[in-house]
Chains A and B, each alone.
Chain A
């Protein structure tokens, strides 16, 4: 690192020397400062869609995963206001889907379930929407239960950026948004899918799972993406 590349920022009042080009989230992580995340995954591009990694910079709330550090930046990660916003965001995510932990294969190994504990979500204060979503179990080894999808887009990104297949994508807009395979055909018929299963491993909830996994049986390895990229020398 050249002397001129070194910049100094403050996170929660703590001065930190780092280098330009990193995100606020990345620098916080490197310095042991926990910021909750859901759509972020090490190795994938950041899109800032889940809004859980909100931090305050210069009186404004921004997503720390998509905000690059700048010299002299002052970041607050844990004010009462931020905590309230994160909780509201999480409640909206729960209310938008049909998240029933009781019989979910990912029960006990779910990033959404863990976030509810971490953020102290005692209740959901908005009415649940109870959408009717389509389950697609046409793939021979995997299935998607869209009731449990949080639209983080990790499956879309891992498939396009790491596997290079781009089988997954988003369709529709607003409340109707859903993830689809190829041009909205059954997953089992999606010719571009290589059956690699990376989407299964990175999905933070029980939405994309291996067939045959019963309640609490599904364990995933989202960290395999960063491992894989490192082995490829692609970081």
Chain B
């Protein structure tokens, strides 16, 4: 059987979902032979592949222009896209800033300490969206894994199903937010 081509993405999140993914422990070793990790914060591959990904897990909400670009690229290249964790599913903590204009936030957080060239950098830094959005407001999402972070057991359950080519059956307590 050919290996499943897997990718993982980290948008606006704390990386806790990736930590929880690694927290699957020895199951991850058992599963390791069944997939090839094509792009992930856990590898050194810089660009998301143009095509040919079977499953992409996306952690984090969509908070800036670069996130939109990456999410769309991942959607286009992947057969299955999974929203991993509450930030991707609901916006969660990053979405707390919604309702406050981004310019005000940047000024409040970085403004008083600007010492280089006397102003805030505006080139090479992705533009913040007016509103942080959950992943399903930006691209079509096939499956949702809840939790902040999702418990390792729930990620394992979903991952095993996806590697087997089955639908992840997440029900009841598996769907707990928080």
Contacts and interface: CB of A to CB of B under 8 A. Distances in A.
Given A120-B171, A130-B95, A101 B134 contact: no
How large, as a class, is the contact surface on chain B?
Answer: 20 to 34
Given A101-B86, A122-B170, A123-B144, A130 B98 contact: yes
A113 B86 CA distance: 13
Interface stretch (A33-41, A72-80, A103-111, A226-234): A103-111
B121 interface: no
Contact of A98 (B89, B96, B137, B170): B96
B64 interface: no
A128 B95 contact: yes
Contacts of B176: 101, 113, 116-117
Nearest to A127: B137
Contacts of A104: 178
A132 interface: yes
Interface residues of A, number: 26
Given A101-B86, A128-B95, A117 B172 contact: yes
B171 A101 contact: no
A3 interface: no
Interface of chain B, main secondary structure: mixed
Interface in A88-113: 94, 98-104, 107-108, 113
A128 B177 contact: no
Given A117-B176, A122-B170, A124-B134, A100 B144 contact: no
Contact of A121 (B96, B175, B178): B175
A55 B35 CA distance: 46
Contacts of B170: 122
B12 interface: no
B175 A102 contact: no
Given A117-B176, A118-B172, A100 B137 contact: no
B175 A120 contact: yes
A128 B91 contact: yes
B173 interface: yes
A100 B96 contact: yes
A101 B99 CA distance: 19
Given A121-B175, A122-B144, A130 B93 contact: no
Nearest to B149: A102
A128 B134 contact: yes
Given A102-B148, A117-B175, A124-B134, 9 more contacts: A99-B177, A101-B148, A102-B92, A103-B93, A116-B177, A122-B144, A130-B95, A130-B99, A132-B99
